[in-house]
């Protein structure tokens, strides 16, 4: 058997890309991860047994990177440079400098990676950062595939439209075709009309959370929003909205869905009377529920057997080790923030399995 592909995981957070690699069951291993967030690094180490390097990515030299002899780069750089909330400063945003630095380093490496996978928010496809990355990769004979996909297309009841790039460096004989700019796949599988059945949210829910005051949406937060249409979901629904890093805080507006735990017969809401919403027992999704929706490998959760194949497969809750666990010292708010910043491991695993490797 050949040696596993050596991967570097940049902007590793809690290790979503590492988990995806494990779920994909491809012969690959993460040889080093990099992140400056000490809490994320603590969670990463707790689960994977080795701490990411906390050296700022901008400070990495070609020599630093070459010593890992890595053949694959996994990247999930900060998304703020490409979001409205982050002012869309793109390449001029200091938070984009880690990625820009890595793009500049690529051609300087004695042995550039064969594989590259990048995840980011929708809008990245329009950015100068992406244009710079594509230009560099094309000049180095990489074959590039790009897509904009959401977990709901993979059979997971969660919307999280994200940009993904998969690039593979071809040998000196093969010439990579220039992808027609703007060809970004939006269907899964790329070629085909297959629709995966989306299970009910009830399959992802911890029923014990319904009575736990920890997760209750504070009454005052509901009462102060007149005519605001909360995104309320019931266990029988098969969708939830994108969970952002503000989830669980007082930013109720666009940070994610709220679960209705009472009066489930009520499906029409009077938004002009926030008081009437108090009877619905609205609560936040728990970190465990979000982890399940993001398809992190979890214990005691609908264990099913994944069949090994190279074809796109319907979602099966992953249970490979390590599971995603949080050390007790990580607070509820920190968990929400880390999960909101993270990614859907199943979507990435399928792309790694079917499209990159």
Ligand X SMILES: C[S@@+](CC[C@H](N)C(=O)[O-])C[C@H]1O[C@@H](n2cnc3c(N)ncnc32)[C@H](O)[C@@H]1O
Is 75 within 8 Å of 99 (Cβ atoms)?
yes
CB of 178 to ligand X, least distance (A): 29
Q: Is 324 exposed, middle or buried (0-12, 13-18, 19+ CB in 10 A)?
A: buried
- Residue 120 parent element (H or E): strand 115-121
Indicate whether 76 belongs to the interface with ligand X (CB under 6 A): yes
Going by their DSSP bridges, the two strands 72-75 and 5-10 should be labelled as parallel
Indicate whether 34 belongs to the interface with ligand X (CB under 6 A): yes
Is 90 within 8 Å of 81 (Cβ atoms)?
yes
Residue placing its CB nearer to ligand X in the complex, 40 or 285: 40
Give me the catalytic one of 32, 72, 79, 345: 79
Residue placing its CB nearer to ligand X in the complex, 57 or 285: 57
Indicate whether 298 belongs to the interface with ligand X (CB under 6 A): no
User: Which residues in 47-73 are b (16+ Cβ under 10 Å) and which e?
Assistant: bbeeebbeeebeebeeeebeeeebbbb
Total residues contacting ligand X by CB under 6 A comes to 23
Residue placing its CB nearer to ligand X in the complex, 12 or 261: 12
CB of 80 to ligand X, least distance (A): 9
- Residue 115 parent element (H or E): strand 115-121
Indicate whether 355 belongs to the interface with ligand X (CB under 6 A): no
Residue placing its CB nearer to ligand X in the complex, 164 or 230: 164
Q: Among this protein's residues, is 79 annotated catalytic? A: yes
317 closest CA partner among 159, 163, 170, 151: 151
Indicate whether 57 belongs to the interface with ligand X (CB under 6 A): yes
Indicate whether 302 belongs to the interface with ligand X (CB under 6 A): no
Indicate whether 32 belongs to the interface with ligand X (CB under 6 A): no
Dist. CA 57–CA 293, nearest whole Å = 29
Note the residues at the interface with ligand X (CB under 6 A): 11-17, 34-37, 40, 56-58, 76, 78-79, 95, 98, 341-343
User: Could you give the residue numbers annotated as active site?
Assistant: 79
């Amino acid at each position: 058997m050949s040696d596993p592909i050596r991967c570097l995981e940049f902007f590793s957070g809690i290790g979503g890309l590492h988990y995806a690699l494990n779920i994909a069951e491809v012969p690959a291993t993460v040889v080093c991860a990099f992140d400056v967030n000490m809490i994320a690094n603590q969670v990463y180490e707790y689960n994977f047994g080795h701490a990411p390097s906390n050296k700022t990515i901008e400070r990495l030299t070609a020599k630093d990177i070459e010593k890992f002899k890595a053949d694959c780069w996994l990247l999930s750089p900060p998304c703020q440079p490409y979001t409205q909330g982050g002012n869309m400063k793109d390449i001029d945003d200091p938070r984009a400098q880690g990625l820009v630095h890595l793009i500049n380093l690529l051609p300087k490496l004695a042995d550039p990676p064969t594989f590259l996978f990048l995840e980011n928010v929708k809008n990245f496809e329009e950015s100068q950062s992406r244009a710079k990355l594509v230009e560099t990769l094309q000049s180095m004979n990489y074959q590039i595939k790009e897509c904009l996909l959401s977990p709901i297309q993979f059979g997971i009841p969660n919307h999280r439209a994200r940009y993904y790039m998969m690039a593979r460096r071809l040998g000196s004989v093969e010439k990579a075709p220039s992808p027609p700019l703007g060809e970004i796949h939006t269907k899964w599988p790329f070629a085909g009309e297959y629709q995966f059945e989306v299970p009910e949210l009830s399959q992802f829910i911890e029923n014990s959370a319904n009575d736990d005051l920890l997760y209750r949406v504070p009454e005052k937060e509901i009462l102060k929003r007149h005519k605001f249409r909360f995104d309320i979901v019931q266990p029988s629904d098969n969708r939830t909205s994108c969970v952002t890093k503000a989830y669980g805080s007082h930013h109720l507006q666009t940070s994610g869905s709220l679960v209705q735990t009472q009066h489930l017969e009520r499906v029409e809401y009077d938004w002009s009377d926030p008081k009437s919403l108090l009877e619905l027992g609205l609560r936040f999704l728990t970190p465990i529920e979000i982890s399940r929706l993001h398809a992190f490998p979890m214990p005691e959760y609908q264990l099913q057997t994944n069949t090994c194949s190279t074809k796109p497969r319907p979602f099966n809750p992953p249970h490979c080790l390590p599971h995603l666990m949080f050390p007790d010292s990580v607070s509820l708010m920190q968990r929400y923030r880390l999960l909101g910043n993270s990614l859907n491991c199943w979507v990435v695993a399928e792309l790694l399995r079917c499209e990159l490797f």
